[in-house]
């Protein structure tokens, strides 16, 4: 583990900028090998990067190995992995059943040039779990799954407008933080405010007749782990039904919250669902599925069916790993993981309250994000208004304490994170509060 970052805080107002400089500097000094690999990667990759989410200044760590809940970086530091690959790493880094499934698929050969015996089994398993999914198609990522679900909605309704919400992340081509990202596909997006019942009603009033679909995460995941109010999702369900548009639940992250995903827990059934992340057991995966009469648009036996090719859509490694993965996430395992996350978040929030610091972990079950604010966090604008520099300091202090989490403060528990690991996190956070109390009290409200 790296040496803890030590900073002298001189004034109760908190010299945050110098503290951050010291933390960044300590990080750079402790991670010289990661820096060396980063510099050499920059020669052939823009910013040494092929996955923007992973980038942070001064440079991200190079991870060289993982085992169960642990990670090791190029400088030999060991971390408890609380990030779980942004939810894709639900089974830890070396799940034996998944490894065996991949080996077994390899033994029968890869790139088989045709349908295989695994894809329909995985499809059946998914339809069985998720109440609203009658049939399903596979993609290589959650991004693709969302794009295909939108295509299906446009084809089904003959309309073009897609309602999404500020703070939502539906993949690298459909991202909405403050505005529609320049990399987004050029759909007719309308961006509403998450959890805003009146504003959403008003949007339906103006664009219902052109609306093809509402695409919504039941909890803003990348956008700060902000759960939707059930009334907000119920409103979306009702108004899409009334307006003849489709409700698409992006359950790429939230499907882990229960055996049948968020929809199974809430009883709110979308028309289409998109999936990704952990379901491939840690391999590239995406899927979209829903009611038969919508999904049959892709039935190649039908005249004028929608084409959806994809060389790796049914690749045997993912199909086999996915079957093993879903076997692992039994109803009991899913419920236990969510309960562990709920307990952990409650304990951390109790700690913040008792310590009187303006911090909060929002989220559901095993998914959570820290925010530095004393105000309620209910939508994308609330997340952006919280103190981002304290979050950066928190990130460096957690790394120095051997806790690996996202730079944006996100945690996604894997099944390999147990009570002992949770204790380590709570202790590290308590120590952060103790060392940074002056800075925390000097934070501007909001």
- The piece of 139-147, 155-163, 178-186, 259-267 that touches ligand PLP (CB under 6 A) is 139-147
Number of residues that bind ligand PLP (CB under 6 A): 16
Please indicate whether residue 391 is annotated as part of the active site. Answer: no
- The piece of 77-85, 140-148, 187-195, 372-380 that touches ligand PLP (CB under 6 A) is 140-148
Least distance CB 444 / ligand PLP (angstroms): 30
Answer for which of 276, 289, 322, 380 binds ligand PLP (CB under 6 A) is: 276
SS3 labels along 8-39: CCCCCCCCHHHHHHHHHHHHHHHCHHHHHHHH
Q: CB neighbours (10 Å) of residue 115? A: 9
State how far Cα 143 lies from the chain centre. Answer: 12
What pairs with residue 165 in β-bridges? 192
CB half-sphere exposure, 211, CA atoms < 13 A: 26
Classify strands 168-169 and 286-290 as parallel, antiparallel or unpaired.
unpaired
How many degrees, rounded to 5, is the angle at CA 117 between CA 114 and CA 119?
85
Q: What tokens were used for 305? A: 């069916």
Q: Does 170 bind ligand PLP (CB under 6 A)?
A: yes
- The piece of 166-174, 193-201, 310-318, 339-347 that touches ligand PLP (CB under 6 A) is 166-174
Q: Does 286 bind ligand PLP (CB under 6 A)?
A: yes
Give residues 207-246 in contact with ligand PLP (rule: CB under 6 A).
217, 221-222
Please indicate whether residue 382 is annotated as part of the active site. Answer: no
Q: Does 382 bind ligand PLP (CB under 6 A)?
A: no
Spatial CB neighbours of 41, under 8 Å, sequence gap ≥ 6: 48, 49
Catalytic residue among 73, 277, 387, 397: 277
Cis upstream peptide for 42 (omega within 30°): no
Closest to ligand PLP by CB, 323 vs 367, is: 367
Spatial CB neighbours of 14, under 8 Å, sequence gap ≥ 6: 438, 439, 440, 441, 442, 443
Q: Which residues of 303-323 are buried (b: 16+ CB within 10 A; e: fewer)?
A: eeebebeeeebbbbbbbbbbb
Give me the helices (H) in 267-330, please. 292-295, 316-328
Please indicate whether residue 277 is annotated as part of the active site. Answer: yes
- The piece of 106-114, 168-176, 260-268, 372-380 that touches ligand PLP (CB under 6 A) is 168-176
Q: Does 171 bind ligand PLP (CB under 6 A)?
A: yes
Q: Does 142 bind ligand PLP (CB under 6 A)?
A: yes
Q: Does 290 bind ligand PLP (CB under 6 A)?
A: no
d(CA 163, CA 204): 9
Window 143-162: contact mask with ligand PLP (x via CB under 6 A): x--x----------------
Q: Does 141 bind ligand PLP (CB under 6 A)?
A: yes
Answer for which of 27, 165, 169, 396 binds ligand PLP (CB under 6 A) is: 169
Closest to ligand PLP by CB, 7 vs 255, is: 255
- The piece of 89-97, 164-172, 289-297, 417-425 that touches ligand PLP (CB under 6 A) is 164-172
Q: Does 281 bind ligand PLP (CB under 6 A)?
A: no
Least distance CB 302 / ligand PLP (angstroms): 28
In what helix (H) or strand (E) does residue 163 lie, and over which residues does it extend?
strand 161-165
The residues of the shown chain that bind ligand PLP, judged by CB under 6 A, are 86, 141-143, 146, 169-171, 217, 221-222, 250, 252-253, 276, 286
* Residues designated as active site: 169, 250, 277
């Amino acid at each position: 583990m790296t040496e803890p970052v030590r900073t002298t805080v001189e004034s109760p107002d908190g010299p945050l900028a110098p503290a951050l400089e010291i933390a960044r500097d300590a990080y750079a000094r402790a991670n010289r090998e990661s820096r060396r690999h980063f510099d050499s990667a920059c020669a052939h990759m823009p910013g040494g990067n092929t996955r923007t989410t992973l980038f942070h200044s001064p440079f991200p760590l190079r991870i060289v190995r993982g085992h169960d809940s642990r990670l090791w970086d190029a400088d030999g530091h060991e971390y408890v992995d609380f990030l779980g690959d942004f939810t894709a790493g639900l089974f830890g880094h070396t799940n034996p059943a998944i490894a065996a499934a991949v080996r077994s698929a390899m033994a029968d050969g890869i790139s088989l040039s045709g349908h295989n015996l695994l894809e329909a089994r995985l499809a059946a398993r998914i339809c069985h779990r998720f109440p609203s999914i009658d049939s399903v198609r596979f993609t290589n990522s959650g991004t693709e799954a969302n794009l295909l679900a939108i295509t299906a909605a446009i084809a089904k309704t003959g309309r073009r407008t897609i309602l999404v919400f500020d703070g939502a992340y539906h993949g690298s081509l459909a991202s909405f933080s403050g505005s529609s990202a320049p990399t987004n596909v050029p759909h007719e997006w309308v961006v509403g405010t998450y959890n805003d019942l009146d504003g959403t009603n008003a949007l339906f009033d103006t664009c219902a007749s052109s609306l093809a679909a509402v695409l919504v995460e039941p909890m803003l995941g990348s956008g700060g782990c902000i759960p939707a109010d059930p009334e907000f999702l119920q409103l979306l369900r009702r108004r899409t039904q009334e307006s003849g548009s489709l409700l698409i639940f992006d359950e790429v992250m939230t499907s882990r919250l229960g055996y049948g995903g968020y929809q199974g827990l809430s009883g709110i059934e979308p028309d289409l669902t998109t999936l990704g992340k952990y379901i491939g057991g840690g391999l590239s995966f995406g899927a979209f599925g829903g009611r038969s009469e919508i999904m049959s648009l892709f039935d190649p036996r039908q005249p004028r069916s929608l084409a959806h090719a994809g060389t790796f859509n049914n690749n045997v490694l993912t199909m086999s790993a996915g079957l093993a993965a879903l076997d692992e996430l039994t109803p009991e395992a899913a419920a236990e993981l969510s309960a562990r996350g709920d307990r952990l978040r409650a304990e951390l929030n109790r700690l913040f309250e008792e310590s009187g610091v303006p911090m909060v972990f929002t989220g559901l079950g095993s998914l959570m994000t820290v925010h530095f604010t004393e105000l309620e966090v209910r939508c994308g604008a609330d997340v952006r208004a919280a103190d981002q520099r304290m979050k950066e300091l928190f990130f460096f202090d957690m790394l120095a304490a051997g806790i690996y989490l996202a730079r944006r403060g996100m945690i996604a528990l894997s099944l390999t994170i147990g009570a002992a690991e949770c204790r380590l996190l709570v202790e590290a956070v308590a120590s952060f509060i103790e060392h940074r109390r002056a800075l925390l009290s000097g934070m501007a409200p909001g």
